[in-house]
């Protein structure tokens, strides 16, 4: 499974040498000529000649037909001279024989070249090289480049594509997409917003999967890419208020003496209409950054203020829910961070330490990180931020895995002693972790947004938490051993045998369910386990959480969407706290099947089919 990306600045990453080993003269020449404009390409007839050239090249990306790779010399060549920074340092041109896939290492890309047009073959090899430069990985068939925004920002990715003069489509599932045509921005869209405004908004995302497909440019352009990038960087400056907060008009004395700009007037009109921050940002043509700047000026004048949403219940969870930040903000869910400790260094989960840099630190094999729950005082401060006329419903990681729920209950008891007893926070031990907890928090926020009483929400959540079907496959037993979950000898033997344990959740505990040999066998087995408890004829909500393994996450997502009627899919990267215990390469899948009467759990009030 693919590991974490290198965080070396893109401008400092050297392009790899490209060693093309191919006895087919026409194909070898075509590949070499097409790629020589951007790379140092050295053609070779066979593995022996390739090794002679590789001695002077140093680390390289090696392209060769699969039949040649069956010889011991080809694997020696790859092991000695393959670029160690590239998970896919060997690209095999396959013949289409299914047996080939069973013979090659999982870290090797098998590209079915038989019957593939020459231009398509060149495009896919370019994608493998692009993956190396971005520190990311291609999918199994070299049709797309996969990654997560915690590994490389969208601005960095766009700059890389531009520097390589590529035309591409970048899809951000559930969020939007953009198209680039070499040095220009062709289009961008997120929700109902399009153009430069959408591009700027997408560039503010800090987590979430993306998919890059190389495609030719068609149609008109939005403008020069350099100008769009400057606008996106400007747009990312400043602290954005919660999107669910409501604008409130304050017609003070300064208000009647001030000559407002057209943008300020439009914002004030929105405030007069009771709009939320998100509604104002979506409804005006200016970029979010321009609106934010004007909004701050109006607040400074005292002509405008922001208030929390009028929903009677405020939802709090913790960072082990692995909720993407933009999704938590959209529903007004407050996330309390746990702490990651590297020796004496203390870092707040997803505040001081993001998933991408965290998995890089794990790869450095320094001291094993430990984790710590938020103190009761910390959680209590979060509770006190809410006014005494709003109930707080607090959902947390299983008490079998962390003391966070216990500390939350202590904070609630202190509230009862010192604050308004009638509005004391209600704390739920979810008996869950990662995206199942994230989904339960979303369910709570959606019910709260529809005005359901806190007592009813709490009662329903206690029943809903038992209906998640969740399985994890761990890429390496090393981290379970380092964290004391299994013996080191068992981890060593498991590594030798390429054993991948499948884990599940049972009454708040992480328990072994099964084990398979090799990562390719894990996903079909997870599907079998999910089918045992899910009706494939009825809708499901699905989540995939991964630890620096976007390629495997994309593969599992596709399998689940092919097998089940998925009405909502969340793909998220496991945060540092969860990742510290399971290690990079871990993949988790969770499914929840709503009943026909539970349409209020869905993103919109769409009736669940019978």
Q: Is the pLDDT of residue 510 over 70?
A: yes
Tokens standing for 405?
A: 């729920």
Between 129 and 33, name the one with better pLDDT: 33
Q: How far apart are the first and last CA of the chain?
A: 39
Question: Which residues have a Cβ under 8 Å from the Cβ of 552 and sit 6 or more positions away?
Answer: 1, 2, 519, 523, 546, 585, 587
**For residue 609, what pLDDT is reported?**
46
- Per DSSP (E only), the strands in 448-556 are 469-473, 499-506, 509-517, 539-546
Tokens standing for 363?
A: 């790869």
Tell me the pLDDT band of 455, cut-offs 50, 70 and 90.
Answer: very high
Tell the burial category of 153 from Cβ atoms under 10 Å away from its Cβ (0-12, 13-18, 19+).
Answer: middle
Sheet holding 41-44, edge to edge: 41-44, 17-21, 60-65, 90-94, 109-112
Q: What would the mean pLDDT of 492-497 be, rounded to a whole number?
A: 42
Q: What is the 8-class DSSP label of residue 430? A: -
Q: What is the pLDDT of residues 400-450, one digit of tens each?
A: 999 999 999 999 998 776 666 667 899 999 999 999 999 999 999 999 999
Phi, psi (degrees; rounded to nearest 5) at 488: -65, -35
Q: Is the pLDDT of residue 162 over 90?
A: no
Tokens 């969340």 sit at which residue? Answer: 570
Q: How many CB atoms lie within 10 A of CB 96?
A: 11
Calculate the CA dihedral of residues 180, 183, 184, 185 and round it to 10 degrees. Answer: 40
3-state helix, strand, coil in the chain (%, to 5): 40, 25, 35
Parallel, antiparallel, or unpaired: how do β-strands 339-342 and 345-348 relate? antiparallel
Q: What percent of the chain has pLDDT over 70?
A: 80
**For residue 139, what pLDDT is reported?**
80
Q: How many CB atoms lie within 10 A of CB 26?
A: 9
**For residue 406, what pLDDT is reported?**
97
Task: Work out the mean pLDDT of the chain and round it to a whole number.
Answer: 83
**For residue 390, what pLDDT is reported?**
80
Q: Is the pLDDT of residue 89 over 70?
A: no
The answer to whether 523 and 551 have CB atoms below 8 angstroms apart is no
Tell me the pLDDT band of 10, cut-offs 50, 70 and 90.
Answer: very low
Between 399 and 481, name the one with better pLDDT: 399
Q: What is the pLDDT of residues 289-301, one digit of tens each?
A: 999 999 999 999 9
**For residue 578, what pLDDT is reported?**
94
- Per DSSP (E only), the strands in 350-424 are 370-372, 391-396
Q: What is the pLDDT of residues 243-266, one digit of tens each?
A: 999 999 988 777 778 888 999 999
Phi, psi (degrees; rounded to nearest 5) at 276: -90, 170
Question: Rounded CA gap, 166 and 230, in Å?
Answer: 20
Q: Give DSSP secondary structure letters for 225-259.
A: HHHHHHHHHHHT-SPPPPTTPEEEE---HHHHH--
**For residue 3, what pLDDT is reported?**
40
**For residue 587, what pLDDT is reported?**
93
**Which 3-state string (H, E, C) describes 553-587?**
HHHHHHHHHHHCEEEEEEEEECCHHHHHHHCCCCE
Question: Rounded CA gap, 475 and 501, in Å?
Answer: 8
Q: What is the pLDDT of residues 220-234, one digit of tens each?
A: 677 789 999 999 999
Tell me the pLDDT band of 607, cut-offs 50, 70 and 90.
Answer: very low
Q: Is the pLDDT of residue 387 over 70?
A: no
Q: Is the pLDDT of residue 119 over 90?
A: no
This prediction's pTM: 0.83
Q: What is the 8-class DSSP label of residue 116? A: -
**For residue 4, what pLDDT is reported?**
38
Tell me the pLDDT band of 486, cut-offs 50, 70 and 90.
Answer: very low
Between 523 and 365, name the one with better pLDDT: 523
Q: Is the pLDDT of residue 341 over 50?
A: yes
Calculate the CA dihedral of residues 391, 593, 450, 299 and round it to 10 degrees. Answer: 70
In 3D, which of 591, 322, 588, 321 has the Cα closest to residue 472?
588
Q: What would the mean pLDDT of 488-495 be, rounded to a whole number?
A: 41
Helices (H) and strands (E) in the chain, counts: 24, 28
Parallel, antiparallel, or unpaired: how do β-strands 145-148 and 223-224 relate? unpaired
Tokens standing for 334?
A: 């407050």
**For residue 9, what pLDDT is reported?**
45
Q: How many CB atoms lie within 10 A of CB 53?
A: 17
The answer to whether 243 and 326 have CB atoms below 8 angstroms apart is no
| Angle, CA of 541, 543 and 548, to the nearest 5° | 170
Q: Is the pLDDT of residue 127 over 90?
A: no
- CA distances from residue 309 to 77, 119, 181, 239, 492 in whole angstroms, order as listed: 62, 54, 41, 19, 53
Q: What is the pLDDT of residues 467-479, one digit of tens each?
A: 999 999 987 766 6
Helix (H, G, I), strand (E, B) or coil at 588: strand
Question: Rounded CA gap, 461 and 442, in Å?
Answer: 11
Helix (H, G, I), strand (E, B) or coil at 538: coil
Q: What is the pLDDT of residues 273-286, one digit of tens each?
A: 999 999 999 999 99
Q: What is the 8-class DSSP label of residue 466? A: G
Between 22 and 453, name the one with better pLDDT: 453
Question: Which residues have a Cβ under 8 Å from the Cβ of 297 and sit 6 or more positions away?
Answer: 264
């Amino acid at each position: 499974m693919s590991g974490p990306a290198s965080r070396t600045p893109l401008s400092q990453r050297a392009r790899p040498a490209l060693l093309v080993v191919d006895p087919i003269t026409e194909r070898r020449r075509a590949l070499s000529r097409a790629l020589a404009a951007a790379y140092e390409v050295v053609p070779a007839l066979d593995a022996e000649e390739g090794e002679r050239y590789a001695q002077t090249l140093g680390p390289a990306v090696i392209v060769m037909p699969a039949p040649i790779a069956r010889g011991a010399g080809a694997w020696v060549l790859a092991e000695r001279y393959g670029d160690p920074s590239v998970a896919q340092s060997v690209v095999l041109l396959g013949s289409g024989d299914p047996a080939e896939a069973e013979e090659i290492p999982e870290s090797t890309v098998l590209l079915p070249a038989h019957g593939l047009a020459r231009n398509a073959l060149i495009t896919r090899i370019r994608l493998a090289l692009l993956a190396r430069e971005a520190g990311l990985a291609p999918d199994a068939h070299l049709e797309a480049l996969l990654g997560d925004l915690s590994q490389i920002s969208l601005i960095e990715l766009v700059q890389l594509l531009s520097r390589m003069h590529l035309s591409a489509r970048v899809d951000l599932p559930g969020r939007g997409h953009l198209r680039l045509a070499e040095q220009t921005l062709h289009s961008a869209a997120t929700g109902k917003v399009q153009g430069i405004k959408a591009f700027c908004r997408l560039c503010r995302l800090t987590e979430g999967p993306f998919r890059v497909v190389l495609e030719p440019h068609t149609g008109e352009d939005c403008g020069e890419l350099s100008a769009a990038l400057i606008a996106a960087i400007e747009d990312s400056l400043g602290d954005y208020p919660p999107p669910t907060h409501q604008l409130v008009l304050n017609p003070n004395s300064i208000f009647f003496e001030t000559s407002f700009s057209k943008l300020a007037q439009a914002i004030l009109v929105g405030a007069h209409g009771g709009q939320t921050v998100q509604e104002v940002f979506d409804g005006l043509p200016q970029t979010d950054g321009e609106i934010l700047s004007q909004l701050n000026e109006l607040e400074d004048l005292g002509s405008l203020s922001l208030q929390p949403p009028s929903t009677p219940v405020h939802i709090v969870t913790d960072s082990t829910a692995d909720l993407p930040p933009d999704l938590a903000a959209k529903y007004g869910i407050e996330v309390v961070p746990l702490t990651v400790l590297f020796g004496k260094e203390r870092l707040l989960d997803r505040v001081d330490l993001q998933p991408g840099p965290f998995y890089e630190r794990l790869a450095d094999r320094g001291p094993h990180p430990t984790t710590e729950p938020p103190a009761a005082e910390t959680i209590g401060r979060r509770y006190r931020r809410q006014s005494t006329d709003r109930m707080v419903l607090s959902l947390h990681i299983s008490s079998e895995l962390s003391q966070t729920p216990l500390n939350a209950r202590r904070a609630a008891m202190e509230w009862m002693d010192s604050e308004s007893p009638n509005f004391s926070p209600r704390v739920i031990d979810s008996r869950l972790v990662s995206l199942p907890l994230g989904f339960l928090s979303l369910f709570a926020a959606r019910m709260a947004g529809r005005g359901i009483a806190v007592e009813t929400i709490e009662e329903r959540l206690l029943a809903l938490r038992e209906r998640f079907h969740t399985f994890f496959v761990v890429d390496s037993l090393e981290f379970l051993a380092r964290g004391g979950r299994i013996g080191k000898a068992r981890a060593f033997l498991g590594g030798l045998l390429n054993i991948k344990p499948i884990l599940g959740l049972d009454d708040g505990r992480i328990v072994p369910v099964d084990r398979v040999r090799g990562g390719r066998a894990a996903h079909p087995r997870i599907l079998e386990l999910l089918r045992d408890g899910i009706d494939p004829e009825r809708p499901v909500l699905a989540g995939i959480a991964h630890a620096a393994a976007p390629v495997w996450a994309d593969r599992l997502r596709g399998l689940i969407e092919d097998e089940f009627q998925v009405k909502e899919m969340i793909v998220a990267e496991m945060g540092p706290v969860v990742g510290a215990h399971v290690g990079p390469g871990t993949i988790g899948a969770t499914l929840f099947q709503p009943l026909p009467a539970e349409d209020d759990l869905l993103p919109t009030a769409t009736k669940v089919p019978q």
